[in-house]
Amino acid sequence: MIPAKRPLAQPPRWQQAWREAVTDPRELLALLGLSAHAGDLLAPADAGFALRVPRGFIARMRKGDPRDPLLLQVLPQAAELGEVPGFSRDAVGDLGARAAHGVLHKYQGRALLIATGSCAINCRYCFRRHFPYAEETAAAHHWEAALAYLREDASIGEVILSGGDPLSLATAKLAELGEALARIPHVRRLRIHSRLPVVLPERIDHEFVHWLAHLPLQRVLVVHANHPNEIDAGVEHACAALREAGVSLLNQSVLLRGINDSVAALAALSERLFAAGVLPYYLHLLDRVQGTAHFEVDEIRALALADGLRRTLPGYLVPRLVREVAGAPCKTPVGHRVAMAQCAGIE
């Protein structure tokens, strides 16, 4: 018997929004009424890391403002081309830390899976601009190699999905992993690191929320917003749906010169996040990646900002200021590096 032809299922709406992202810097500037500023652009051919930004995120940028803090996170600029000493291509040592196909196991009890290389947005400050992630994803072959690694090591209680952006994978693909993880007795928690709830909140659709709500593991989602203007009603709605599904929500930010390097901006970010049900987690110093030096805030200024935040906010709204140090056993608190060195060896 010939099976009846079924109509092709509609792709989820978020995938449509994903595909409609703006990739031409001139179009982005035109949408913001900034066509006269095209002269400072990095020619696309030289960028090596294309512009990519969802339209919903552009809608949160201020029209006519070339210094808009959301625009500056995504716009390729000539400043990226300078080679600056101390800024390298693999600043965080990830290339040397692979434990298995797509698995980074640097810290005790937690293993990080590079689920995919793709993102809905290309953030100019990101280390991903040089990392050959595409051929190193844990999702290859139904997560086979990554799962074998996780099953073997009973010290791993938490699996972290990162990337790229793991929520760029279809929910069915994530569900495949979730099912397999739930069968590993020592894995108690699934943590997802994703910028999508902020930059493309359509991703948090019914299918995804339903999957998370029924996953028999504790669930943590670490979103990534750098500035209070990133959080609009769509983001709040997505966060509310996740919380209803029993997901703990945290945020990580990167401290970025000219974007969020003031006590006022950071305090407003914490307040906006908390109003959306998200607790601030980490404030990262920039990874010293080639092409990003113009975003760097030095440690002294970063410490002063953290101090300002402690004077302004309740303690639970102050993110931990950290830096990633290649080879270190955890994210390193800024200003505590000397103490850490002195304590080395204490169990």
Ligand X SMILES: *Cc1c(COP(=O)(O)O)cnc(C)c1O
Instruction: Say how many residues touch ligand SF4, by CB under 6 A.
Output: 11
What tokens appear for 336 in the block? 């505590």
User: Strands of 103-107's sheet, edge to edge?
Assistant: 98-100, 103-107, 110-114, 158-162, 189-193, 218-224, 248-254, 279-284, 320-323, 332-333
Pairing of strands 103-107, 110-114: antiparallel
Instruction: Tell me the backbone φ, ψ of residue 46, rounded to 5 degrees.
Output: -90, -15
Q: Please, are residues 20 and 55 in contact by the beta-carbon 8 Å criterion?
A: yes
> Does 62 interact with ligand X (rule: CB under 6 A)?
no
Binding flags for ligand X, 145-184, as an x/- string (CB under 6 A): ---------------x------------------------
**CA separation for the pair 272, 278 (Å, rounded):** 9
CB 251 to ligand X: min, Å: 12
> Does 254 interact with ligand X (rule: CB under 6 A)?
no
Which 127-166 residues touch ligand SF4, going by CB under 6 A?
Answer: 128, 163-165
**CA separation for the pair 76, 53 (Å, rounded):** 12
CB 185 to ligand SF4: min, Å: 31
First-to-last CA distance in the chain?
Answer: 69
CA distances from 57 to 37, 67, 74, 201, 233 (A): 20, 16, 10, 10, 12
**Residue 126: which of ligand X, ligand SF4, none does it interact with, CB under 5 to 8 A by kind?**
ligand SF4
Binding flags for ligand SF4, 83-122, as an x/- string (CB under 6 A): ------------------------------------x-xx
Which 213-232 residues touch ligand SF4, going by CB under 6 A?
Answer: 224
Choose between 171 and 253: whose C-beta lies nearer to ligand SF4.
253
Choose between 104 and 305: whose C-beta lies nearer to ligand X.
104
Choose between 163 and 291: whose C-beta lies nearer to ligand SF4.
163
**CA separation for the pair 83, 331 (Å, rounded):** 26
The continuous run of DSSP H or E covering 15 comes out as helix 13-19
The continuous run of DSSP H or E covering 299 comes out as helix 299-312
CB 111 to ligand X: min, Å: 7
CB 194 to ligand X: min, Å: 14
Choose between 94 and 313: whose C-beta lies nearer to ligand SF4.
94
Which region among 17-25, 82-90, 106-114, 165-173 touches ligand X (by CB under 6 A)? 106-114
CB 164 to ligand SF4: min, Å: 6
Choose between 102 and 234: whose C-beta lies nearer to ligand X.
102
> Which residues are within 8 A (CB) of 307 and not within 5 positions of it... i.e. 6 or more apart?
none
Instruction: Tell me the backbone φ, ψ of residue 26, rounded to 5 degrees.
Output: -65, -35
Binding site for ligand X (CB under 6 A): 104, 106-107, 110, 112, 160, 330-331
Binding site for ligand SF4 (CB under 6 A): 119, 121-123, 126, 128, 163-165, 195, 224
